[in-house]
Structure 1
Amino acid sequence: MKNKDLKSAHILLVEDNEGDIVLTLEAFEESKAKTEVSVVRNGREALEFLYKKGKYQNVKKPDLILLDINIPIFNGHEVLQLIKEDSDLKRIPVVMLTTSSSHTDIQRAYDNHSNSYIMKSLDMEEFFEAIVKIEEFWFQVATLAD
């Protein structure tokens, strides 16, 4: 099945910055694809969501994960590593969406099999545009695994 034929795309946003959460949700509301965005605010919640534990027992598996590096409890690198080591989760594309321009963070993300690394712009319009491009690529251009 082509992604264009999907009824909706489910995105897991792992982000603790309230302003970035609001902007990201607004960008997806404006997008061409029908998207459902679930938001968790730290690494522990991300893992509970992905492993369907506690209050996340009935959630559906995301089609894409947008993962910030600088999140509490478990950082984005730790969460990414666990996702990509798990046979049930490793095919979910993970986009590192972060303010970090550190060469070390970029290398570590790709070493742990991040599907892409996007630096958040401090300019609101540029940030919004980046989110729209993420949606266009992953849900209109790319073909995702089941």
Structure 2
Amino acid sequence: MSTNPADVDVREIALPPEELTEDLDNSAENSAPSPAPREVASLEFLSDPATRETTVDLDHPFRYEGREVRKIRIRKLTVAEVGRAADRNTGDGFDLYEVYAAMTGFPASVLRGLMDDDGDAVVERAYGFLPRAFRAGGD
């Protein structure tokens, strides 16, 4: 027998009388207010740009929204950008392509539409810039 008071058999929990359950309305959306956006400073980083960004030249350039795309720039994210990427990854499970989208400026759907070898090259380079929390095993 457990000594934890939260360990209760659900059959022992009293429910409201049957005639009252018909009057319950649980259809309302969560009305909790969204937190106000936090201030984020715009910083001029002094480190070597090669430690913060890279470019992948595409073997299969494409046209997107009327412009030719021959290379994809990948950059490290700020702490705030990591938080926003994590916030977008709710519901159907975590999707690294949403993080890659923030790193490249292209929607996740565009990155998924790349030819396989270009997609592999972008993902490989981007993976090296991922925060540890987003890498497999947190390495």
Higher fraction of helix = 1
Query: Higher relative contact order by CA 8 Å / sep ≥ 6: 1 or 2?
Result: 1
TM-score over 0.5 for the pair: no
TM-score (norm. length: structure 2): 0.20
